[in-house]
Amino acid sequence: MGKVVVFGSFVVDLMARSPHLPIAGETVKGSMFKMGPGGKGFNQCVAAHKAGADVTMVTKLGRDTFANVALDTMKELGMDESHIFFSDESETGIALILVDENTSQNEIIIVPGACNTITEEETDGLEELIKGAEYVLMQLEVNQDANERVAELAEKYGCKVIVNTAPYSKISDEFLSKTYMVTPNEVEAEELTGVHVDSLDSAKKAAEYFYKKGVKKVIITLGSRGVFVSSDGNEEIIPAFKVNAVDTTGAGDAFNGGLLCALAEGKSLEEAARFANALAALSVQKLGTTPSMPTRDEIEAFLKEH
């Protein structure tokens, strides 16, 4: 199995559940509150780690009590803590998550904090780590200049860059040209390409946009409909597993972490997407993001059963 890196965000999730999501100016009495580790990068890394990947997390925390939420989780799970940066000026990031307990729909506000302040000096210190990695997975939740510098390092050493284009923000053609694979959901794909993705044909059109920018492989997640996979001229939608969703908040992160793990094991893109679908299907059946990521045994059992 190849070594992999997740370069990205950590935030503390502050999650409340209520009978409905508030409209502007409304106060709703909630039924539950939970605090725990989160952030797209951290969720994806935990998903990959628990699925069996040899993965290193790179993120930046403040020097505050919220930083311990990350460090304690990493210790508990036996994760590599050697590439965590700290900021003396910025606080650890947070996410305010509101979940409708009847529909599982959610609304999220993210304040990235320290992980939005990763410096050139810090990314330069990752050279040996990137040099020894097969894949680096990143998102758009940290300062983009740091993502771009890591992509340059990856290009220098032949490490493949996977970009989960979430949360949506504009990215340069130069950055895309260094990207091996993109994994937007259908909303992000439309924002990036201008193509409304609602079928196999429209997904192919969106993929074409990325190919013109130099991206090698395209995956578009389509929620309950499954995943569009485009690789070497083969294009298909791999259906999602049917499960009873309790909380869909971390589904995309579960998928990306599972994908990273499966690719590091040498699975084909189609096999990797199916493995990642299983991981996502398991994650939505539990509350929370990081805590909902399944173990390798759970994933194997689920795939046997389905």
Catalytic residues: 253
CB 278 within 8 A of CB 258: yes
DSSP, res 265: T
Q: How far is the C-alpha of 231 from the C-alpha of 207, rounded, in Å?
A: 10
Q: Which residue has the tokens 């939505």?
A: 284
Instruction: State phi, psi for 218 to the nearest 5 degrees.
Output: -130, 130
For the chain, how many residues are written?
306
Order of all β-strands in the sheet with 106-113: 32-38, 11-18, 92-100, 106-113
Q: Which residue has the tokens 């597993």?
A: 241
Q: How far is the C-alpha of 207 from the C-alpha of 197, rounded, in Å?
A: 10
Beta-sheet strands, E only, within the chain? 3-7, 11-18, 32-38, 54-62, 84-87, 92-100, 106-113, 135-138, 160-163, 181-182, 217-221, 227-231, 234-238
Q: How far is the C-alpha of 274 from the C-alpha of 300, rounded, in Å?
A: 12
Q: How far is the C-alpha of 189 from the C-alpha of 168, rounded, in Å?
A: 9
Instruction: State phi, psi for 124 to the nearest 5 degrees.
Output: -60, -30
Q: Distance of alpha carbon 117 from its chain centroid, rounded?
A: 19
